[in-house]
A and B are shown apart, each in its own frame.
Chain A
């Protein structure tokens, strides 16, 4: 990690939060650039080419959403929203503008850091639609549509479950909105959240140890779902190419 430290851009106008973020990131091997407005954020993003951005929504000049939209026109870098806005519509808006993740204020430093790292990992890896998802106690073979339990035995996935899981896996560690998920699985104009809920429930029964306390397919309330790969081991949860 020491070679080529990641550069993080923090767009945040509150000095206290700036300080906390700087300490947190620098203590964990990031170089940090801080901007206190959308305009500066945009300028720094273009000139410094950061690896990841943490963006507050309530900024003095413009809404952070605008900055995200603007950055998305030229860069695929991970963007994490850090905001006190709790309303579902606002969270959904941020994801639709192109945010990779949304962390609520007041935030916990370890959680934010984990999200930042996860987004970086995904970005570095790129998207691989097929392969085997490995977890500590099970592996999901997307090409064979089978869940392989560590203790032996297999659980078969229905075509629909498979398609949902595949969509989530392509965007692993990242929130897939309901509409996005439904469009990919059922096709456009066939949106029905009820069906989605039911299939997520059946999928969890096959993948989770305790379906009421899901650790893999995590609900992002009001927005969508996120497939979380194991964060304990660096290798666990990575996708190996099936061929």
Chain B
């Protein structure tokens, strides 16, 4: 036996293989066969590091696994998880024979070394362990099988015993009792069928009936009950059929051979039946879980945002696990944010936020069925992203006393991984979107700065130039020239002021924090205020208005509305030659008031008028015409804020036409004057 009592084996192995084949080693650690699996895993890790080998940890779940206490099952799952966290590939194998399953898997993965626990116990169990080890070595020719003894006798003390719930124990006991009772019933039934035939058929046919009964027991019952059937079948056969009848005495020694053969055949058949049945069951269970996993993966792929993903995952996990689930998201600093309520409402697990916070920080599972906070009713699983913990999944079984089956545990982990992946994907998409927006904003800002600095500098240079001429004594300006320069300075300063107003207005509108300062205003008043703003500059243009006095009042922000109309007027002044006619009109249509500003000028000068309303877009390339292309962007923002729309078209008058449709509500009744009017 390759029993080494030290972990130095790793170094030794490394030395042995130093001059060996260049082929990469592959290490397989088998757990579940000893009481010190954790030590085995650590040995495996050291060895794999020394050999620079890939390593995997397998847990063979034979039929015995089903009947293990919950505590042991949970421990083995935990060990597998630890192995995975240490970098091993954690695998669970199913099979009737541990040695066979391991050997098959080892060949499949081209394993070079197998690490197993060395037999520690004395007596029967030690014998079976030695037998298993021998079988493994026999089945794996060419693979080094290393048995490792524990480091310390008490290196691994079992964790605090979890009291198996009483109800569960009773349940288990009842089931077993029922099975054993059925085993006896099978024998009784065989005897009842066979007894009337006694004397009419050969005894060998009676034996057949009992063998059939043993096979049926194997098909329906567990190992123990089947064995019981096999034994009492023989007793019944002996008692009822073998002469002397109704006595256990056997006169003919030939029958002893029959009994032995009967027992062996019954046991073998039962064993085969049970093996087949278990395989079928575990395959069915795996298929069920695969289907569940597929379903959640598919739904998560469809889900667009974090909320939808969480809702989907919570629903699936709830269905498959018969549990209440909840997702707690983490913020950038890893702190738990307020719980996401599942859309369906209903029962929710009682969450201990401090436990969730612990889970998020340590990136470890906690709660029921784990080592940390095992007293918690719910299980807390971290949703691990590539950089940080995305959140914590909290699952509470509907029946809190029922421990999770290992398959369910694995499924839950797989679902958790899927959810974490999906959330990570969503988060990355969000980040990418934010980055895109930021880049766009930066471009916008640069354009804005460039345009503004150009459009402020141009009038500034005119002002500075004109000012310096006026200030210069030598120039001996006549009064006419001085007035011209003064006007120029005033006009340019006013342009700059208007530009500034527009920029500030746009910033305010786009910040979105400012709500409209609505009040009732008459259209004619708004139009009048807009015209008044440009009164002096409009002198050279022919302005006409057509605003009926009976138009309903509009509930609008007068400042913004006047700014909008004033921008349209300013455009007309800027882009049409003096003497052009500018017509402002308002009409009432169904549900809207249509405000129109049109002119007889040269038109829009752009193919797609819609583009005019975008920021920094201008009808003609700026030559001497100042402006940054913000005026119409403001017009659109204002009209949209009021629920209206603005369009640019060609005017039937020949020039440009801007049409604003403003929705209006039914006018409320007016307050009558008090009756005491003199």
The residues of A with any CB-CB pair to B shorter than 8 Å are 86, 88, 106, 108, 158-160, 163, 185-187, 190, 192-195, 197-198, 200-202, 204-205, 210-214, 218-219, 221-222
Say yes or no: B553 contacts A198, CB within 8 Å. Answer: yes
B220 within 8 A of partner (CB): no
Q: Across the interface, name the chain B residue whose C-beta is closest to A105.
A: B497
B517 within 8 A of partner (CB): yes
Which one of B493, B521, B532, B673 lies within 8 Å of A159 (CB-CB)? B673
Say yes or no: B549 contacts A197, CB within 8 Å. Answer: no
Say yes or no: B524 contacts A211, CB within 8 Å. Answer: yes
Q: Could you pull out 5 A-B pairs where Cβ atoms are within 8 angstroms?
A: A88-B517, A198-B670, A202-B549, A210-B545, A213-B532
Say yes or no: A186 contacts B553, CB within 8 Å. Answer: no
Say yes or no: B524 contacts A222, CB within 8 Å. Answer: no
Say yes or no: A205 contacts B549, CB within 8 Å. Answer: yes
Which one of B522, B528, B671, B674 lies within 8 Å of A213 (CB-CB)? B528
Assuming A212-B528, A221-B562, is B520 touching A201 (CB within 8 A)? no
Give chain B residues whose Cβ lies under 8 Å from the Cβ of A159.
Answer: 673, 677-678
Q: Across the interface, name the chain A residue whose C-beta is closest to B554.
A: A197
Which one of B547, B558, B668 lies within 8 Å of A221 (CB-CB)? B558
Q: Across the interface, name the chain B residue whose C-beta is closest to A225.
A: B525
Give chain A residues whose Cβ lies under 8 Å from the Cβ of B671.
Answer: 186, 190, 192, 195
Say yes or no: A214 contacts B494, CB within 8 Å. Answer: no
B661 within 8 A of partner (CB): no
Which one of A160, A192, A211, A214 lies within 8 Å of B549 (CB-CB)? A211
CA separation between A201 and B677, bound complex, in Å? 20
Q: Across the interface, name the chain A residue whose C-beta is closest to B497.
A: A106
Say yes or no: B562 contacts A213, CB within 8 Å. Answer: no
B667 within 8 A of partner (CB): yes
Q: Mark B638-675, 1 if CB is under 8 A from A, else 0.
A: 00000000000000000000000000000110110110
Which one of B501, B558, B670 lies within 8 Å of A195 (CB-CB)? B670
Assuming A197-B553, A222-B559, is B531 touching A160 (CB within 8 A)? no
Give chain B residues whose Cβ lies under 8 Å from the Cβ of A213.
Answer: 528, 531-532, 545
CA separation between A192 and B671, bound complex, in Å? 7
CA separation between A194 and B525, bound complex, in Å? 13
Interface size class of B (residues with CB under 8 A): 20 to 34
Whole-angstrom distance between the Cβ of A86 and the nearest chain B Cβ: 8
CA separation between A194 and B528, bound complex, in Å? 18
Give chain B residues whose Cβ lies under 8 Å from the Cβ of A222.
Answer: 558-559
Say yes or no: B667 contacts A194, CB within 8 Å. Answer: yes
CA separation between A212 and B501, bound complex, in Å? 24
Say yes or no: B677 contacts A160, CB within 8 Å. Answer: yes
B203 within 8 A of partner (CB): no
Point out which of A186, A197, A212 has the most chain B C-beta atoms below 10 A from its C-beta.
A212
Supplied contacts A106-B493, A106-B497, 20 more A-B pairs, CB within 8 Å: A159-B673, A160-B673, A185-B673, A186-B671, A186-B674, A190-B671, A192-B671, A194-B667, A194-B670, A197-B520, A197-B525, A198-B522, A198-B553, A201-B524, A211-B528, A211-B549, A212-B547, A219-B529, A221-B529, A221-B562
CA separation between A221 and B528, bound complex, in Å? 11
Q: Across the interface, name the chain B residue whose C-beta is closest to A111.
A: B536
Whole-angstrom distance between the Cβ of A38 and the nearest chain B Cβ: 26
In the complex, the 6 A-B pairs of residues with the closest C-beta atoms, listed nearest first: A159-B677, A194-B520, A160-B673, A212-B545, A195-B670, A212-B524
CA separation between A88 and B558, bound complex, in Å? 10
Say yes or no: B549 contacts A201, CB within 8 Å. Answer: yes
Q: Mark B308-322, 1 if CB is under 8 A from A, else 0.
A: 000000000000000
Give chain B residues whose Cβ lies under 8 Å from the Cβ of A198.
Answer: 522, 553, 670
B519 within 8 A of partner (CB): yes
Give chain A residues whose Cβ lies under 8 Å from the Cβ of B532.
Answer: 213, 218
Whole-angstrom distance between the Cβ of B569 and the nearest chain A Cβ: 12
Give chain B residues whose Cβ lies under 8 Å from the Cβ of A210.
Answer: 545
Whole-angstrom distance between the Cβ of A187 and the nearest chain B Cβ: 6
Give chain B residues whose Cβ lies under 8 Å from the Cβ of A205.
Answer: 549
Whole-angstrom distance between the Cβ of B108 and the nearest chain A Cβ: 79
CA separation between A211 and B671, bound complex, in Å? 23
Q: Mark B131-174, 1 if CB is under 8 A from A, else 0.
A: 00000000000000000000000000000000000000000000
Whole-angstrom distance between the Cβ of B418 and the nearest chain A Cβ: 54
Residues from 501 to 536 in B contacting A, C-beta threshold 8 Å? 501, 517, 519-522, 524-525, 527-529, 531-532
Whole-angstrom distance between the Cβ of A108 and the nearest chain B Cβ: 7
Q: Across the interface, name the chain B residue whose C-beta is closest to A178.
A: B519
Assuming A197-B520, A197-B522, is B545 touching A186 (CB within 8 A)? no
Give chain A residues whose Cβ lies under 8 Å from the Cβ of B668.
Answer: 194
Say yes or no: B493 contacts A212, CB within 8 Å. Answer: no
CA separation between A145 and B187, bound complex, in Å? 123
Say yes or no: A108 contacts B670, CB within 8 Å. Answer: no
Point out which of A187, A194, A195 has the most chain B C-beta atoms below 10 A from its C-beta.
A194
B490 within 8 A of partner (CB): yes
Assuming A88-B559, A197-B522, A211-B549, is B670 touching A219 (CB within 8 A)? no
Q: Across the interface, name the chain B residue whose C-beta is closest to A160.
A: B673
Whole-angstrom distance between the Cβ of B652 and the nearest chain A Cβ: 21
Give chain B residues whose Cβ lies under 8 Å from the Cβ of A202.
Answer: 549
CA separation between A221 and B521, bound complex, in Å? 10
CA separation between A163 and B673, bound complex, in Å? 10
Whole-angstrom distance between the Cβ of B248 and the nearest chain A Cβ: 111
Give chain A residues whose Cβ lies under 8 Å from the Cβ of B531.
Answer: 212-213
Assuming A194-B670, A195-B671, is B517 touching A201 (CB within 8 A)? no
Whole-angstrom distance between the Cβ of A5 and the nearest chain B Cβ: 25
Q: Across the interface, name the chain A residue whose C-beta is closest to B562.
A: A221
Say yes or no: B525 contacts A200, CB within 8 Å. Answer: yes
Whole-angstrom distance between the Cβ of B171 and the nearest chain A Cβ: 75
Q: Across the interface, name the chain B residue whose C-beta is closest to A218.
A: B532
Give chain B residues whose Cβ lies under 8 Å from the Cβ of A197.
Answer: 520-522, 525, 553
Give chain A residues whose Cβ lies under 8 Å from the Cβ of B527.
Answer: 212
Give chain B residues whose Cβ lies under 8 Å from the Cβ of A212.
Answer: 524, 527-528, 531, 545, 547, 584
Say yes or no: B519 contacts A193, CB within 8 Å. Answer: yes
CA separation between A219 and B562, bound complex, in Å? 12
CA separation between A197 and B670, bound complex, in Å? 10
Say yes or no: B528 contacts A214, CB within 8 Å. Answer: yes
Residues from 533 to 581 in B contacting A, C-beta threshold 8 Å? 545, 547, 549, 553, 558-559, 562
Give chain B residues whose Cβ lies under 8 Å from the Cβ of A185.
Answer: 673
Which one of A88, A106, A219 lies within 8 Å of B528 (CB-CB)? A219
Give chain A residues whose Cβ lies under 8 Å from the Cβ of B501.
Answer: 86
Whole-angstrom distance between the Cβ of B413 and the nearest chain A Cβ: 60
CA separation between A53 and B250, bound complex, in Å? 138
CA separation between A186 and B671, bound complex, in Å? 9
CA separation between A106 and B463, bound complex, in Å? 15
Q: Across the interface, name the chain B residue whose C-beta is closest to A187.
A: B674
Give chain B residues whose Cβ lies under 8 Å from the Cβ of A158.
Answer: 673
Say yes or no: A201 contacts B525, CB within 8 Å. Answer: yes
Point out which of B497, B520, B668 has the most chain A C-beta atoms below 10 A from its C-beta.
B520
Give chain A residues whose Cβ lies under 8 Å from the Cβ of B494.
Answer: 106
Which one of A106, A192, A218 lies within 8 Å of B670 (CB-CB)? A192
CA separation between A209 and B132, bound complex, in Å? 114
Whole-angstrom distance between the Cβ of A114 and the nearest chain B Cβ: 13
Give chain A residues whose Cβ lies under 8 Å from the Cβ of B519.
Answer: 193
Say yes or no: A193 contacts B528, CB within 8 Å. Answer: no
Residues from 253 to 306 in B contacting A, C-beta threshold 8 Å? none
